[in-house]
Structure 1
């Protein structure tokens, strides 16, 4: 008789295997058999849990977004000031859990696939809206809303751009330099805002 907790464990194992396989290949052009083999389950079981490969890929993207969202919420809960809120959002995007080679490669693969997959495009829109909202939660306390909108858009572009650039390089991602680059931009904008008109 199977254990009660096995289906969630197997689903999670398949999602983790998908991230690792996509990360190694740098593409979503992987098979259910490869992912299932890496997870230590049969291909038939993978199909049973997720249907077609697209179902597993969407579940994988939702998992990555869910983990990122949970990390951001934890970081924001301990932020006392508007400035700390913005820095927390930036730091989480480059944390050890998020800014690792497999996750970076998976993000790049999902961005590419979203050009032809409406479900993945919708998930990426959810991510973009959340990122914008989380940044705005701090930025609106630091500058007028129109400027906060522009700065939030630029920070989001820097985060996405640093992921893309990192995906195209070999070696270990350098989260410290990535955070410093985004923080430098933010500090420049804050200083400009403080200057008298």
Structure 2
């Protein structure tokens, strides 16, 4: 009889093994065998907890998405932080040590490629994109006029995704990720400053 509380532990171990397998073998060559070998479990355990490889891959991507959300929530140290601070926290949550790790970057890159052809993965990507845009828009709306806020949210989301991708594919990802985070924050500050300047000149 399985021990109480064993299921969450086993599920996480299999997700961690999937991240490792994708990092080592790529998504295409990741199989039930490679995952179970890394996890040190029988292949039947995967079927028991997830149903199969496809469901486990989706659970792994969902785990990455959850880590993005949790890292943002953990950075909010006070209720209702200032909008500009909240925007910086959103940036930071996308460039955490975990999101910059080889395990995460290789899985994200594999996921994005597969999302172009897989409806289930495309749905998860859509959730990810909409969540980022929505969070950015919420904060920008407290600082800018509606149209300017929407434009700023779209531009910032594109910068975060674009700089993250360029950093992940660079020869020196660690330094590039650090620079990317700073550039995104600087962009946010500059947009807010420029819009406030424009608004003051219209009075």
TM-score (norm 2): 0.89
| Alpha-carbon spacing, 1:19–1:11, altered in 2? closer, same or farther (3 Å) | same
Cα separation, 1, equivalents of 2:48 and 2:171:
36
Cα separation, 1, equivalents of 2:70 and 2:152:
23
Pick which of 155-164 and 88-97 moved more: 155-164
Q: Which residue of 2 aligns with 1:86?
A: 87
Alpha-carbon distance, 1:133 to partner: 1.3
Q: Which residue of 2 aligns with 1:143?
A: 144
Alpha-carbon distance, 1:68 to partner: 1.3
Alpha-carbon distance, 1:148 to partner: 1.2
Provide the secondary structure at the position in 2 that maps to 1:173: helix
Alpha-carbon distance, 1:54 to partner: 0.8
Cα separation, 1, equivalents of 2:181 and 2:169:
18
Provide the secondary structure at the position in 2 that maps to 1:98: helix
Q: Which residue of 1 aligns with 2:193?
A: 191
Q: Which residue of 2 aligns with 1:124?
A: 125
TM-score (norm 1): 0.91
Q: Which runs of structure 2 are paired with 1:55-66 in the superposition (5 Å)? A: 55-66=55-66
Q: Which runs of structure 2 are paired with 1:3-82 in the superposition (5 Å)? A: 3-76=3-76, 78=78, 80-82=81-83
| Alpha-carbon spacing, 1:159–1:24, altered in 2? closer, same or farther (3 Å) | farther
Q: Which runs of 5 or more residues in structure 2 are unaligned?
A: none
Q: Which runs of 5 or more residues in structure 1 are unaligned?
A: none
* Deviation digits for residues 78-116 of structure 1 (CA, Å, limit 9, x no counterpart): 362011110110111111132222111111111100111
Match of 1:179 among 172, 178, 181: 181
Contact 1:115 1:121 in 2 (8 A): yes
Provide the secondary structure at the position in 2 that maps to 1:46: helix
Cα separation, 2, equivalents of 1:49 and 1:170:
38
* Deviation digits for residues 103-161 of structure 1 (CA, Å, limit 9, x no counterpart): 11111111100111111111111111111111112111111121111111111111111
Point out the structure with max Rg over C-alpha.
Answer: 2
Aligned residues: 197
